[in-house]
Structure 1
Amino acid sequence: MSEWRKVRGVIRRADVVVEVVDARDPWGTRSSEVERLTDRLGKPLVIVVNKADLVPKAVLEKWARILRRERKTIFISAAKRLGTRYLWRALKESTNKRPVIVAVVGIPNVGKSTIINYLKGSHSVGTSPIPGFTRHVTRVRAAKWLRVLDTPGVIPRQPGELALISALRPEALDDPVPIATRFLELVAKKNPGLLKELYEVEWEGDPLTFLEKLARRRGFLGKGGTPLVEEAAKVVIRDWQTGRNTFYLEPEDYGLA
C-alpha cells in the first residue's frame, strides 16, 4: 500500500482530522490534498501549528488571523508541552461523537509523531491494528473518549519542495546545492544578518559564493583544497530542519494580508 493511500484511508476512517504544520512556515507546510479530501468527506479539520516556541508571538498572531479565516487553528509546542491543553479542548469540541477517532496527519518533520505520542501519553491502553491496513497503521486508545489513528504515511510532495520545507533529509537529495541556494536567497532577502550570525560568513549576494566560504570555514575540502559546496549545502538545510536556524516566514512573504 502506498504511503499516500495510507493517509487517505486513515482520513476516511477518522471523525476528526488534525493537520500538523510548522510554525516557521505554516502556509508552506499545509497540504491542499489533505484539506480537499477532508472537505469532500465532510469531516472537521483542525490545523495544529507546532513548534510555536521558535517564532515570535507577534508573527504567530498574524498567522492566526490568516489561518482562522479558513480553519479552526491552534498553536502549540508539542516538544515543550506548551498549549497542548488547547489541543485536547479542540478535539473535544470538534464533534459530539464519542468515542472520537482522530487522524493526525502532516508532512515529515512538522512534529506529527511528537503530537501523537503526547496524545497517547500515560493514558493510552495498548494498540490494535486497523483491518485492511498494513501492520504499521494502528488505533490507540488515548483516553476514554479519544482514539488516535497512528500511521507513518506521508503526504506527496516533490523532493526539492520537501527539503525546502524541512521534510526531507539533505542526505536523501541527489544534489542539495539547488535547495540550499534557494533557501539562502530566501533568508538573505529577509534577514541577511542571520546568516552572518549563524555561520560567521558574510552574505555578498551570491549563494554559491556563500557555500564555498562556508565549506572552507568548516574544513569541507576536496583534492587540491576545492571547497565541497555539497557538504556546506547539507549543513544549511540541516540547520533549518533542526531549528538551529531560527528563520521564519510571515504572511506578507506569501502576499497574504
Structure 2
Amino acid sequence: MVDSPIVHWFPGHMAKATRMITEYIKKVDVVIELLDARIPRSSANPVILELVGQKPHIVLLNKVDLADSSATKEWVEFFTKQGITVLTMDSKSGKGNKKLISTVEKLSKPTIDKWIAKGIRSRSVRTIILGIPNVGKSTLINSLAGSAATRTANKAGHTRGQQWVKIGKNLELLDTPGVLWPKLEDQRAAARLAMTGAISDDVYDLEHVIKQLLEFLLTHTPHILVERYKLKPDEMENADIILESIGRRRGCLVSGGIVDLDKARRILLQDYRNSKLGSITFDTVDEEPYYIDGEIPVLEGE
C-alpha cells in the first residue's frame, strides 16, 4: 500500500450513468455483472451490487484467458459458497456464450411462468450487463449477438448510444456505460484497475502503479521477471532496482547513461497488458474488501 493516493477519479458522466442504471435495472429480469477475472474484487462495483437488490444475478468472470486458472477456480468457489450464480467467460473467443444464455433463461423461468399464467407470451426476457470500463461488455454483447442480432434505435429517455440488442427470439440485452464507484478508498484496488486499463492512463500516478506491479511480481512470480528481462540475482533486490535494470536492458537511456524511468515504466505496463508477463490474477479470495465497513460511497459529480 502506498502512502499517497494513486487516483481520485469519478468523472461526472459516470455519476449520471449510475443514476440511469438505477432506472434501467427496474426494467430487466436478470442482471449480469461482468468482472475482470484478474481482479474480481477490485473490478466489483459496490454501487452495482446495491442496485441489483433481489433481481436474479449472475457474476460473470471475463478474460479468464488472461488470469491464473487456479485463482479463477478459487473465485468460482468463493462466489458459489455465497449462493451467487457464477460463470467464467472469454468474451473474445465466445467461449461460454451458450452457458450464459442458458443460465439467463433458467434464472428468468419463474418470471416467464408468471407471464404464461397471465396469458402473456410475446415479451422477451430482458437482461442488463453491468461492469466497470474496459471489462469487455461491448465485446461480450457483440459475441452474443452475432450476425443474427438486431440493434434497436435509441429509445426515449436513454442516453445517446444506449441500445437494446435482441438475441434470437426470446432475449434482449441492454448495453450500458462502464461505471466506476465514486471513491477508490483502497489504493491497492485503484492500482490494479489502472494496471488493467479500467482507469484512464491520464489520471493516475504511473510511478506508484508500476511499483505495486513490480512488488507483486517480485513476491508472487519472480521467475517471470527473470525470464522476461534476463535479470540477475543482484538485480532482483527490490522494485526500484528491478525497474532500473529493465530500463537499461531495454535501452531507456538518456545523456550520461541515466535510465529514463518513466519510459521503463511504460514498457513494463505494455508488456503486462500485452500478456508478455504471463497469466496473472492480482486479487485473492482472502484479501479484505476494498470498501470500508461495508458502506457504499456517496455519489459525487454531475
CA 1:175–1:6 in 2, change beyond 3 Å: closer, same or farther?
Answer: closer
Is 1:198 aligned to 2:223, yes or no? Answer: no
CA 1:153–1:133 in 2, change beyond 3 Å: closer, same or farther?
Answer: farther
SS of the residue corresponding to residue 59 of structure 2 reads strand
Higher relative contact order (CA 8 A, sep 6+): 2
Q: Distance in 2 between matches of 1:205 and 1:11?
A: 50
The 8 Å contact of residues 180 and 237 in structure 1, kept in 2 or not, is answered as yes
Is 1:45 aligned to 2:75, yes or no? Answer: no
Q: Distance in 1 between matches of 2:52 and 2:275?
A: 30
Structure 1 gap segments, 5+ residues each: none
CA 1:200–1:111 in 2, change beyond 3 Å: closer, same or farther?
Answer: farther
How far the C-alpha of 1:250 sits from its partner, in A, is: 6.2
**Correspondence 1:75-224 to 2 at 5 A:** 75-96=88-109, 97=112, 98-156=123-181, 158=184, 160=191, 162-170=193-201, 172-173=202-203, 175-202=205-232, 204-224=236-256
The 8 Å contact of residues 128 and 140 in structure 1, kept in 2 or not, is answered as no
SS of the residue corresponding to residue 61 of structure 1 reads helix
How far the C-alpha of 1:127 sits from its partner, in A, is: 2.4
The 8 Å contact of residues 45 and 180 in structure 2, kept in 1 or not, is answered as yes
Q: Which moved more, 1:99-108 or 1:235-244?
A: 235-244
- Determine which of 18, 23, 30 is the counterpart of 1:16: 30
Q: Distance in 2 between matches of 1:216 and 1:169?
A: 28
Equivalent residue, structure 2, for 1:226 = 258
CA 1:29–1:214 in 2, change beyond 3 Å: closer, same or farther?
Answer: same
Q: Which moved more, 1:10-19 or 1:180-189?
A: 10-19
The 8 Å contact of residues 42 and 283 in structure 2, kept in 1 or not, is answered as no
Q: Distance in 1 between matches of 2:155 and 2:171?
A: 16
The 8 Å contact of residues 28 and 165 in structure 1, kept in 2 or not, is answered as no
CA 1:198–1:48 in 2, change beyond 3 Å: closer, same or farther?
Answer: same
Q: Distance in 2 between matches of 1:78 and 1:13?
A: 25
The residue identity in structure 2 corresponding to 1:244 is K
How far the C-alpha of 1:87 sits from its partner, in A, is: 0.8
The 8 Å contact of residues 124 and 141 in structure 1, kept in 2 or not, is answered as yes
CA 1:13–1:111 in 2, change beyond 3 Å: closer, same or farther?
Answer: same
SS of the residue corresponding to residue 93 of structure 1 reads helix
Equivalent residue, structure 2, for 1:26 = 40
The residue identity in structure 1 corresponding to 2:254 is G
How far the C-alpha of 1:192 sits from its partner, in A, is: 0.8
The residue identity in structure 2 corresponding to 1:47 is V
How far the C-alpha of 1:198 sits from its partner, in A, is: 2.4
How far the C-alpha of 1:66 sits from its partner, in A, is: 0.4
The residue identity in structure 2 corresponding to 1:64 is V
SS of the residue corresponding to residue 3 of structure 1 reads helix
Is 1:244 aligned to 2:257, yes or no? Answer: no
Q: Which runs of 4+ in 1 moved over 6 A?
A: none
How many residue pairs were aligned? 253
CA 1:120–1:237 in 2, change beyond 3 Å: closer, same or farther?
Answer: same
Is 1:254 aligned to 2:266, yes or no? Answer: no
* Structure having the higher Rg: 2
Structure 2 gap segments, 5+ residues each: 1-11, 113-122, 185-189, 290-302
The residue identity in structure 1 corresponding to 2:91 is A
How far the C-alpha of 1:56 sits from its partner, in A, is: 4.8
Q: Distance in 2 between matches of 1:228 and 1:162?
A: 25
Equivalent residue, structure 2, for 1:62 = 74
